Structure 1
Amino acid sequence: MSAPVPATGLPELPVTFRPTGTRVVLLTIGTVLLVVLTALSLLLESFTTGDRISFISTGLLGLGVLALLSRPKVVAAPDGVTVVNLTTKRRLAWAQIVRVNLRAGDAWVYLDLSDGTTLAAMGIQTGIAKQRAIADARALRALVDAHGTGRSAT
């Protein structure tokens, strides 16, 4: 979610970037899946206790996987950036980020780091809301330019 942009052109810190539309869709589908499978397991009288447990477990597993997929975010704070991807979380100082990239065809933002590596920042992704992702990438790029030592490119 993007923060309002004040007159300086930079979002106020801390700001969290996350694919809200994708997150809503994934968590809604996961919840509906769990509710439907639970209701089916309880309403069908021919089911044994094991069948019911299997149906509910499958719903919980589905919800868990979709919740994991909805986890990515990028949090910019005064002291640096935290990138939360599916199963990893990495804290970066502003000076570690050399460039913010969101090129045509990229699924999400990539951060070029001072150690020569690249880090995917899945919290800014082009999936459902491409224009929002572009705006968020520009905001993060402006923050990196203002707080770090990096160069940014599209």
Structure 2
Amino acid sequence: MTTSAEWDLEVRPHLTPYFAYGAAFLIAAAHIAVGFLLKVGSSGVIFQTSDQVGIGTLGVIIACVVLLFARPRLRVGPSGIAVRNLLAYRLIPWSDVVDVSFSDGARWARVDLPDDEYIPAMAIQAVDKQRAVDSMDRVRELMQRYRSDVS
């Protein structure tokens, strides 16, 4: 893996991680609370301790999945553009980058590749408004710097 000194720009979403952390906490807390309260009272169903543990564990697993939304990152440097989304990480060399765009109505930017393919860049999100605009401007500046064939 490369060090951060090799990258000229690193972009992360600004607002989405706050929502992800809050939602993950609420989901885990609700499942754990339900797990604790499962044996309180009588509903006609007999719950075991394993049921309580299972519900709490399910909440923690769902919270971990929600936390993946705090993970996106985009890095730009001499070696290309590195995109990390929810699950995947990909380093795209400058020779494969056609453009970096933000379509009208899109939720996040994308790195356009040859043959009409693209990779979503979830690190630059529309909900971040001016930060997204500034990030796109900076990415395009660096693209001009590293790609001499870009007009």
Q: TM-score category by the smaller chain?
A: 0.7 to 0.9
One-letter amino acid of the structure 2 residue matched with residue 92 of structure 1:
I
Cα separation, partners in 2 of 1:149 and 1:97, compared to 1, 3 Å = farther
Counterpart of 2:131 in structure 1 is 132
Offset at residue 69 of structure 1 (A)? 2.5
Offset at residue 105 of structure 1 (A)? 1.0
Q: Tell me, yes or no, if the aligned pair for 2:124 and 2:132 is still in contact at 8 Å.
A: yes
TM score, norm. by length of structure 2: 0.78
Offset at residue 56 of structure 1 (A)? 0.9
Offset at residue 150 of structure 1 (A)? 5.3
Percent identity of equivalent pairs: 29
Correspondence 1:58-73 to 2 at 5 A: 58-73=58-73
Correspondence 1:4-153 to 2 at 5 A: 13-43=7-37, 45-46=39-40, 48-114=48-114, 116-126=116-126, 128-149=127-148, 151=150
Counterpart of 1:7 in structure 2 is none
Q: Tell me, yes or no, if the aligned pair for 2:16 and 2:69 is still in contact at 8 Å.
A: no
Partner of 1:20, secondary structure, is coil
Q: Tell me, yes or no, if the aligned pair for 2:74 and 2:84 is still in contact at 8 Å.
A: yes
One-letter amino acid of the structure 2 residue matched with residue 17 of structure 1:
V
Instruction: State the aligned residue count.
Output: 140
Cα separation, partners in 2 of 1:150 and 1:117, compared to 1, 3 Å = farther
Offset at residue 44 of structure 1 (A)? 5.1
Q: Tell me, yes or no, if the aligned pair for 1:98 and 1:149 is still in contact at 8 Å.
A: no
Compare CA radii of gyration and give the structure with the larger one.
Answer: 2
Q: Tell me, yes or no, if the aligned pair for 1:81 and 1:94 is still in contact at 8 Å.
A: yes
Offset at residue 80 of structure 1 (A)? 2.0
Cα separation, partners in 2 of 1:119 and 1:151, compared to 1, 3 Å = farther
User: Structure 1 regions of 5+ residues with no counterpart?
Assistant: 1-11
One-letter amino acid of the structure 2 residue matched with residue 143 of structure 1:
L
Q: Alignment RMSD, CA only? A: 2.3
User: Structure 2 regions of 5+ residues with no counterpart?
Assistant: 1-5, 41-46
User: 2:139, 2:23 → 1: CA distance?
Assistant: 30
